[in-house]
């Protein structure tokens, strides 16, 4: 790191050097933006410049890259594609993923004269970014790029947008005296790990020690902080059952004796039952949002609660707190573990047994579905096969809608080395995000689970995956429709919808395996549950992009949340 060593260089040279310095290995874009920078990247760096089929997919790939690595994912679009890119930042914003979006923007010389393709894009980025700024003078490249990485990786991480002057960001050809200085601190989130004050930890621990029936609800902050091992150790030391949010599913493996599952709306019944039977809820790294709490019914508002979060504004937002702890999840939980009174665990034997009984009841209730041989395949069985055969170091990437419900509720991680990333609400996120995750972690197996409606959104990116040999495995739960909508349409038609109503949510039958093959990927069609393990093994071993098209039952509805 140097300061005060300015050199005459172009914006393109500076940006290429800085992205390299920040450890960026891939950027995702639709041309034409920052063309000169791309040429400099080729001359000066090894950065892979993935030219993809849509700006939203580029943003989702950057998002998957970011969630898999903790490093900011970078995506780019020219001015006409800027709002497509902004649309794709919304999931990263909701999930707190550090994504840096770069777009071309208006040149003051052409503003307000109906120049081709331009509108003012800046307002559209406001609601989906932590920092939304213009770069109007080439001499500002160094400090603005540093600020982008600084904002994306600090506090609660999130997206940033830089708009560069020129509809294709042609400002990058201009020269200035600059230093492409980078700050290694901000290569990866969390950039800082704020320590909580000791008194707040002791106050929280006192309340936990006294509780006979506490439960931990672990959220995405645990995965962002890399705090899973500390969290599980604390739960074990004090014998506290652990539920997770959907975003925090990989905070604890599903086969751990203290795991009760995902709570909230896209959830497992056992988790909601345990959370609602608790006498104290310990929220760790969760916003206590509507999805995690089933719109504040799990737990009920008024349940005694403690909250640990890096973001002070999150503390007590939805649940009045008996104690609030402001700090990074990993250091906070580690400190709590060091100060924990393990003797107090003794009083929770009956509670842990009760939680385990509730989990066993859930397994009994769904045993038939989880082991069903039905044709078309039951999604529950598909999830059970994935639990059983998922590689120990896999990154599991899951779409929303029924995909989120099936996998959130029915799938179990079985190793602390497995990761789980989920759409924060956008249908179609998972497939490109899985490709981005594979770019970030090429040595790890990536298995994406999506419905057919979700897969259709960005199906063109199969070609991108083939061109760049991104060997992610995509499992399509193909039921020929968006059947999460079935329940809702049954309801509005007074219980049972007309046959014609199905035109609102069903598709024609398409064989995605054949499509994938035509596009150069490995395609495998699976029509019986028994055939799935071999298909997964073949896809994982193929070392090229693979699509497993699983023909499932369109009448299968995921269970709704219990309160």
Give contact residues for ligand TPP (rule: CB under 6 A). 400-403, 425-427, 451-454, 477, 479, 481-485
Query: Footprint of Mg ion on residues 479-518 (CB under 5 A)?
Result: 479
E-assigned strands of 389-498?
395-398, 419-422, 446-451, 473-478
Q: Which is nearer to ligand TPP, 15 or 291 (CB)?
A: 291
Asked if 216 and 240 touch (Cβ cutoff 8 Å), the reply is: yes
Please state, in angstroms and rounded to a whole number, the distance separating the CA atoms of residues 36 and 172: 7
Q: Is 156 in the site for Mg ion (CB under 5 A)?
A: no
3-state secondary structure of 524: strand
Contact 486, 560 (CB under 8 A): no
286 is a site residue for Mg ion (CB under 5 A): no
From the list Mg ion, ligand TPP, none, which binds 258 (C-beta under 5 to 8 Å, kind-based)?
Answer: none
If one counts every other C-beta atom within 10 angstroms of the C-beta of residue 555, the result is 10
From residue 435 to residue 474, what is the string marking binding to Mg ion with x (rule CB under 5 A)?
----------------xx----------------------
What residue 426 binds from ligand TPP, Mg ion, none (CB within 5 to 8 A, per partner kind)? ligand TPP
Work out how close the CB of 77 gets to ligand TPP at its nearest, in angstroms, rounded to a whole number: 19
Torsion of CA 459, 465, 467, 471, to 10 degrees: -150
Q: Which does 400 bind (CB under 5 to 8 A by kind): Mg ion, ligand TPP, none?
A: ligand TPP
* CB-nearer residue toward Mg ion: 449 or 532: 449
Q: Does 105 bind Mg ion (CB under 5 A)?
A: no
Shortest Cβ 90–ligand TPP spacing (Å): 9
Cβ pair 457, 528 in contact under 8 A? no
Whole-angstrom distance, CA of residue 150 vs CA of residue 187: 8
425 binds, among Mg ion, ligand TPP, none (CB under 5 to 8 A by kind): ligand TPP
Cα–Cα distance for residue pair 159/139, rounded to 1 Å: 23
Is the alpha carbon torsion for 315, 133, 148, 448 positive or negative? positive
The minimum distance between CB 413 and ligand TPP, in angstroms, equals 21
Closer CB to ligand TPP, 330 or 402, in the complex: 402
In the complex with ligand TPP, the residue whose CB is nearer, 415 or 506, is 506
Q: Select the residue whose beta carbon is closest to Mg ion and give its number.
A: 451
By the rule CB under 5 A, 103 interacts with Mg ion: no
CB of 266 to ligand TPP, least distance (A): 11
Q: How far is the CB of 479 from ligand TPP (least distance, A)?
A: 5
DSSP characters for 163-177?
EEEBTT-GGGG-EEE
487: CB partners within 8 A, 6+ apart? 557, 560
State the minimum distance, in angstroms, from the CB of residue 443 to ligand TPP: 29
User: In terms of CB distance, is 178 or 262 closer to ligand TPP?
Assistant: 262
Task: Count Cα atoms within 13 angstroms, Cβ side, for 366.
Answer: 23
Which positions lie near Mg ion, rule CB under 5 A?
451-452, 479
């Amino acid at each position: 790191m140097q300061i005060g060593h300015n050199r005459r260089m172009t914006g393109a040279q500076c940006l290429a050097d800085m992205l390299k310095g920040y450890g960026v290995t891939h950027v995702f874009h639709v041309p034409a933006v920052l063309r000169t920078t791309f040429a400099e990247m080729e001359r000066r760096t090894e950065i892979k410049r993935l030219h993809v089929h849509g700006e939203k997919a580029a943003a989702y790939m950057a998002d998957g890259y970011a969630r898999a690595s903790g490093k900011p994912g970078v995506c780019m679009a020219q001015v006409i594609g800027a709002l497509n890119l902004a649309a794709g930042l919304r999931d990263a914003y909701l999930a707190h993923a550090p994504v840096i979006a770069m777009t071309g923007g208006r040149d003051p010389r052409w503003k307000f004269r109906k120049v081709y393709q331009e509108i003012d894009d800046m307002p559209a980025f406001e609601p989906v970014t932590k920092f939304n700024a213009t770069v109007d003078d080439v001499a500002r490249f160094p400090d603005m790029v540093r600020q982008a990485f600084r904002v994306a990786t600090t506090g609660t991480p999130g997206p940033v947008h830089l708009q560069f002057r020129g509809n294709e960001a042609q400002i990058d050809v201009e020269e200035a005296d600059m230093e492409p200085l980078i700050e290694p601190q901000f290569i990866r989130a969390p950039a800082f790990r704020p320590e909580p004050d000791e008194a707040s930890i002791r106050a929280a621990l006192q309340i936990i020690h006294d509780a006979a029936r506490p439960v931990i609800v672990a959220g995405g902050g645990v995965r962002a902080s890399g705090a899973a091992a500390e969290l599980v150790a604390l739960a074990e030391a004090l014998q506290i059952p652990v539920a997770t949010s959907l975003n925090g599913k990989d905070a604890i493996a599903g086969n751990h004796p203290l795991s009760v599952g995902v709570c909230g709306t896209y959830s497992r019944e056992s988790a909601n039952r345990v959370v609602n039977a608790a006498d104290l809820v310990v929220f760790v790294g969760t916003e206590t949002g509507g999805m995690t709490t089933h719109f504040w019914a799990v737990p009920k508002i008024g349940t005694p609660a403690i909250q640990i979060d890096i973001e002070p504004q999150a503390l007590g937002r939805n649940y009045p707190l008996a104690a609030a702890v402001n700090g990074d999840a990993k250091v906070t939980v580690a400190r709590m573990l060091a100060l924990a009174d393990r003797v107090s665990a003794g009083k929770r034997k009956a509670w842990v047994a009760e939680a385990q009984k509730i989990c066993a009841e859930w397994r009994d209730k769904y045993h038939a579905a989880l082991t069903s041989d039905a044709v078309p395949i039951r999604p529950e069985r598909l999830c059970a096969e994935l639990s059983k055969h998922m590689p120990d170091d896999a990154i599991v990437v899951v779409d929303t809608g029924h995909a989120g419900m099936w996998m959130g509720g029915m799938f179990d991680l079985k190793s602390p080395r497995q990761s789980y990333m989920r759409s924060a609400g956008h249908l179609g996120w998972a497939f490109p995000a899985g490709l981005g995750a594979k770019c970030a972690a090429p040595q790890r197996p990536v298995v994406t689970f999506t419905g057919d409606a979700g897969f259709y959104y960005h199906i063109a990116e199969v070609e991108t995956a083939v061109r760049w040999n991104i060997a992610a495995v995509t499992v399509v739960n193909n039921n020929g429709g968006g059947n999460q909508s079935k329940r809702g349409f049954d309801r509005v038609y007074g219980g049972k919808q007309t046959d014609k109503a199905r035109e609102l949510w069903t598709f024609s039958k398409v064989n995605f395996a054949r499509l994938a093959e035509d596009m150069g990927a490995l395609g495998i069609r699976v029509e019986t549950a028994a055939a799935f393990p071999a298909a997964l093994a073949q896809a994982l071993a193929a070392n090229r992009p693979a699509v497993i098209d699983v023909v499932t039952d369109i009448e299968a509805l995921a269970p709704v949340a219990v309160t």
